[in-house]
Amino acid sequence: MPMIEVSGLTKKFGQITAVDSLTFSVDEGEVFGLLGPNGAGKTTTVRMLCCLISRTSGTAKLGDLDISHRSETMKIRKMIGIVHDNVGLYETLTAYENLEFYGQMYEAPRDLVKGNIKEYLEMLDLWDQRDRRVVSFSKGMKQKVAVARALIHDPQILFFDEPTANLDPEASKVIRDLILKLKGEGRTIFLNTHNLDEAQRTCDRIGILKTKLIAVDTTKNLENAFARKVTAIVLASLNDSILNAVESRNPKRVTVEGNTIRIELEDPDRDTPSVVSAISGAGGQIKSVKEEGVSLEGVSLEDVYLSIMRRGQN
């Protein structure tokens, strides 16, 4: 069942189109990643979905509530939790006081708020710091408080707007682990990120945004499409003429380790046979040919864009 259904959602700021006719949906219990560089329109999209700013056209539904119906705004605000792109905590208040205040503003029952503050601050390793003023906190600690704030009223849908941007790896990991835990509880999660690796680790599906939605697919399919694929060919022996034969097929990269040649090809399915025949032609004795997947790690968002753009042109 779709929990978030977006159709033709568009936002213009004057002459600038920040978000251009997005259409996609997010199922209940799914982690959906909106992946895009700075200025892609991620924050603008989330702000529209959270009824913080108006839309220029198009619409969206959260559960059975429509963001274009003013009468449903309050209900939408109550069912969602947001980790904003800025922590926006009251620095002169303590972590506990910040969370307590938002518990009230979200109209959550006192006991629930108390329980959630304890649960999440403990989980995020901040329980001992709860009575310290936020002003003395590190960036990572502040972000953790902001995450706890988003969860204070047990929302069904959670929006995270670049929750790990500029955080140290440890704090980033704690927050990613929490996202996965929340997913395990069956909550629907919408994650904005410009970090491909983060999207790959946490999301079930990814939408790639650059003002327009360039692609939406499962993380698996995107991985298959963009992970560097390496063909490993094991030979009985190796010599220069074999290597020259391989080079003649214009591979993207070739590495040699003992009698194994690892070749990165534009399209392994298409190009492997011709490489194999070239090796045979040069007198190479092939023992095995295997495809090795290399993860998205090291692949940059730019690679993905370029590759999508190239495909769009083909």
Partner 1 sequence: MRLWKSWALARKDMKILRRRKSLVGGLLVIPVLLGIGLPAILEYVITKKGAQSSVVVDLLGAFAYFFVLLSVVLPLYISSYSIVGEKLERSIEPLLATPTSDEEILLGKYIGVFIPVLIAIWLGTAIFMIMADAFSSASLGYYYYPNQSFGIIVLIAVPLACLYAISFSVFVSAKVNSAQTAYQLGVLTAVPFFILYVLGELGIVSLVSDLNILIISAALLVMAVVMFFISRATFKREEILTSWK
State the residues that interact with Mg ion by CB under 5 A.
Answer: 43, 85
Considering the complex, state which of residue 165 and residue 282 has its C-beta at the smaller distance from Mg ion. Answer: 165
CB of 135 to partner 1, least distance (A): 10
Taking CB under 6 A as the rule, does residue 84 contact ligand ADP? no
Q: Which of 166, 149, 182 is nearest to 82 (CA)?
A: 149
| Separation CA 250–CA 264 (nearest Å) | 10
Distances (CA, A) of 37 to 47, 186, 302: 17, 28, 9
Footprint of ligand ADP on 24-83 (CB under 6 A): 36, 38-44
State yes or no: residue 86 binds partner 1 (CB under 8 A): yes
Q: Does 89 bind partner 1 (CB under 8 A)?
A: yes
Q: Smallest distance from the beta carbon of 306 to ligand ADP, in angstroms?
A: 19
Residue 97 binds partner 1 (CB under 8 A): yes
Q: CB of residue 18 vs ligand ADP: minimum separation in angstroms? A: 3
What does the per-residue mask of binding to partner 1 show for 25-64, with x meaning CB under 8 A?
----------------------x--x-xxx----------
Taking CB under 8 A as the criterion, the residue among 96, 102, 120, 137 binding partner 1 is 102
Quote the radius of gyration of the chain (alpha carbons, Å): 24
Comparing CB distances to partner 1, the nearer of 87 and 124 is 87
Binding residue for partner 1 (CB under 8 A) from 23, 39, 57, 91?
91
36 versus 63: smaller Cβ distance to ligand ADP: 36
Buried b / exposed e along 68-87 (16+ C-beta atoms within 10 A): eeeebbeebbebbbbbbbeb
Q: Which residues bind partner 1 (CB under 8 A)?
A: 13, 47, 50, 52-54, 74-75, 77-78, 82, 84, 86-93, 97, 101-102, 104-107, 146, 149
Which residues bind to ligand ADP, rule: CB under 6 A? 13, 16, 18, 36, 38-44
